[in-house]
Amino acid sequence: MRLVVDLNRCQGFAQCVFLAPDVFSLHGEEALLFSPRFDEAQQDRVEKAAAACPVQAILVDYSDEPTKRVEPHVG
């Protein structure tokens, strides 16, 4: 499961840090750091964090399907 925060939108309200402190953290008073990948144990908290974001800046993808790829030809 993966996530990304649109840090242009993010204004450092830090609601996600309160609700999922293992996935999100503040660096200083305002800069947000996040773990782009999280496991099932965190799913519930991440979901709450994403819903609570006052500027709706958190995009979460609960699926984890591998990319269907075409191997390049050799030679």
Partner 1 sequence: MSADTDVQLLRRQGRIVVVGASLAGLRAAETLREQGFTGSLTMIGDEPYEPYDRPPLSKQALLGRAQPEDTALPRRRDIDAEWRLGVAAESLDRDAKQVRLTNGDTVPYDRLLITTGTRARPWFHPEEAALDGVFVLRTRDDSARLRRKLTGGVSRVLVIGAGFTGSEVASACRELGLEVTVAERGPAPLVGALGGVIGAVADRLQRKHGVDLRCGVSVTALEGDDVGRLRRAHLSDGSALDVEVAVVSLGAMRNTEWLAGSGVAAGPRGVACDAGCRVFDVNGIVTDDIYAAGDVARSPHPLFDYQFLALEHWGNAVEQAEIAAHNMICAGPDRRPHLWLPMFWSSQFGVNIKSVGVPSLGDQLVVAQGALAAERFVAVYGYRGRVIAAASFDGAKWLGFYEQQIASGAPFPPEYRTVDRRTETLHPIDPAFPDPHLPTHGATVTLTGHSPSGRRVSFIPSHA
Partner 2 sequence: MTSGTLSAQITDYANRADPYPLYAELRKQPVRREDDGTFLVSTYYEVRNLANDPRLSNDTSNRPPGYGRPGQPPPESGLPPSFIFTDPPVHDRLRETITRPFGPPHSPRFLDGLRGELAKVVTELLDAFEGRDEVDIVEDFAYPLPVTAICKVLGVPREDEPRFHGWADALASGVDPQAGGGSGQEKAQRARQDLGAYLTDLIETKRRHPGPGILSALAPEMTPADLEATAVLLLVAGHETTVNAITNTTLTLLRHPDILDRFLKDPDLAVPLIEEVLRYESPVQFVPWTTALDDIDVAGTTIPKGSPVWLMLAAANRDPKRFKNPDRFDPDRKDNEHLGMYTGIHYCFGAPLARIELHLAVPELFRRVKFSRLLQDPPPYRANAVLRGPRHLPVAIEGLTA
Which pair of tokens denotes residue 59? Answer: 């995009």
5 binds partner 2 (CB under 8 A): no
41 binds partner 1 (CB under 8 A): no
- The C-alpha atoms of residue 30 and residue 50 are separated, in whole angstroms, by 17
- One of 1, 35, 42, 52 touching partner 2 (CB under 8 A): 52
β partners of residue 58 = 5
14 binds partner 1 (CB under 8 A): no
Q: What is the DSSP letter of 22?
A: T
30: Cβ contacts below 8 Å, ≥ 6 apart: 11, 12
Cβ at position 47, least distance to partner 1 in Å: 13
- One of 6, 36, 37, 51 touching partner 2 (CB under 8 A): 51
Residue 69 interface partner, choices partner 1, partner 2, none, CB cut-off 5-8 Å depending on type: partner 1
